[in-house]
Amino acid sequence: MSLNTLKALLWMLFGSALMVALIIAMNLTDNGKEQDNGKKKTKMQLAQKSKPKPLAKPKPRSKPKKAKRAKQAPMPNLGSSLSGVDMGIPEFAAGDMIGSSESLLGDVSKDMTMTESTVDSVPRASYRAPLQYPKSAKRKGITGYVLFNLLIGKKGDVVRSSILESEPQGVFDDVATASIRQWKFKPAIYKDKPVKVWAKQKISFKFQ
């Protein structure tokens, strides 16, 4: 065998081996891509499966229904139920039972205590007891007054007295109280009759 023939055989074997190697490499590359694609598909499927399901929205609670109030039964009409029924009681007039308004007012006015604004005629002083000017106040030249609230009876006498105001306070109170209790009045008049009345009376202390 010649040298040229041997070289040709070697080149043929080398070329065949190279072709086989290329085919094997291409197959390996295609298998790797398919595996990678399979892995990617698997990961995508797992990712899709791993997505959490959306939570269902809670249903709105229904408002509690207000209990309907029971309708009240109408009050019975006593007038209609008693009409036409003979109770066996004789008829009477209202005036016979309660009397006239004037007679009632007359009875009440016997013991009624009134005020100056409600009587027809206010009481008038008919007698004033003499006043003794306090010596200490007279010596110092002090003047003043005492205002009383008096309960004057039907006969014009002072039934009760209370001091409403005094100036200077406490200087003339005792002297004025001792004097006012002895005063006499023409009684207050209401409907032509004397009545008890609350009235105000002022006693002044000043130099003449």
Determine the Cα–Cα distance for residues 176 and 43; give it in Å rounded to an integer: 117
Q: Is 192 left (phi over 0), alpha (psi -120 to 50) or beta?
A: left
Task: Pick 187 or 22 by higher pLDDT.
Answer: 187
Determine the Cα–Cα distance for residues 197 and 199; give it in Å rounded to an integer: 6
Assess contact for 186 and 197: CB atoms under 8 A. Answer: no
Task: Look up residue 198 and give its two tokens.
Answer: 């609350």
Architecture of domain 111-205: 2-Layer Sandwich (3.30)
Assess contact for 165 and 123: CB atoms under 8 A. Answer: no
Domain boundaries, the chain: 1-42, 111-205
Determine the Cα–Cα distance for residues 160 and 203; give it in Å rounded to an integer: 16
User: What is the residue-averaged pLDDT of the chain?
Assistant: 74
Q: What is the pLDDT of residue 10?
A: 79
Q: What is the pLDDT of residues 36-73, one digit of tens each?
A: 555 555 555 554 555 555 566 666 666 656 555 655 54
Determine the Cα–Cα distance for residues 133 and 143; give it in Å rounded to an integer: 10
